Amino acid sequence: MPFNPDLALNAVVVNLIATTDGRVPLTQGALAHAAFLDLVAAADPDLAARLHDSGGRQPFTISPLRELPEQAGAEGYRLDAGARAALRLTLLDPDLFLAFLKRLLAAGPDLRLRIGDVTFAVESAIGAPGSHRWAGYTTAGELRQAAGTEQRIRMVFASPTAVSLGEKGAAKQRMVLIPIPQYVFASLRGAWNRLTGDEIPIGFEEWVADCVFVREVRDWQTAVYQLKRGTYPGGFGDVTFEALDPAPTFLRMLNLLADFAFYSGIGSKTTMGMGQARRL
């Protein structure tokens, strides 16, 4: 398909308030994923079914619950009624965004999401640029037009991130857990091309492998992320990449994809809380 400059990219922070006492598990990605699909199904059942059955990369991401208590027990986080949390969604398909808005407007203050043992009311949804550091709106064309040529790019990986290299021989799960530029930007290139119809060439990946390095890593950690069908490892932290070749064409692609990561996430299981990232 040709490049679609009008493709809208939305990042929305949904503020929640617990209406019941209960617990949410240590990782809530699969539960948040299911709650989101239930919300979409209430507005557009056919769209929800297509998303559920899709085998490809889906046009949305979901964060883990944010603003939870710092201390958690072995069984998860204990929340009392009235406790607040937040959930971040990115919506990369116009039909999906319209279904989300339709459900939000139709239900109003009565909208509920259930995650773990806790039922949450939706207190507000923030999506305007500048309203929250994790909220925003742009189009694919605006993102491409605004891409700069900075050679140093600092990014925060805010939830466990892993790039899959696929199966090879007896190795069924080959995952990269550290921010190697070649794999980070290859994942972003693939997501950008599939979503927008753009054609960032494979030569860009070769340039990244030869010319882009990690300049600084701040507090990188690895963690195991529990999902419905098993556990997935991932890494998170604060990383600065540096391109040693000032070629402007490839630098713009590098900057474009670093900005795109805010909406697309990075790597595997981005619809279940993994791979949340943004440029600093």
* Percentage of the chain lying above the pLDDT 90 cut: 72
Q: Would you state the CATH architecture of domain 147-279?
A: 2-Layer Sandwich (3.30)
Is domain 8-126 in CATH 3.30.70.1890, yes or no? yes
Residue 165 in tokens: 């290299």
pLDDT of the residue at 170:
62
What is the full DSSP assignment across 241-277? EEES---HHHHHHHHHHHHHHHHH-SSS-GGGT---E
Burial of 54 (0-12, 13-18, 19+ CB in 10 A): exposed
pLDDT tens for the chain, 280 residues: list them: 899 999 999 999 999 999 999 999 888 888 898 899 998 999 899 998 888 777 677 899 999 998 888 777 777 889 999 999 999 999 999 999 999 999 988 888 889 999 989 999 999 999 999 999 999 999 999 999 999 999 999 999 999 999 988 766 665 678 899 999 999 999 999 999 999 999 999 999 999 999 999 999 998 999 888 777 778 899 999 999 999 999 999 999 999 999 999 999 999 999 999 999 999 9
Q: Tell me, what's the pLDDT at 75?
A: 79
Residue ranges of the chain that CATH labels 3.30.70.1900: 147-279
Report the side by side order of strands in the sheet with 152-161.
212-227, 230-243, 152-161, 277-279
| Positions of CATH 3.30.70.1890 in the chain | 8-126
Q: Model pTM? A: 0.94
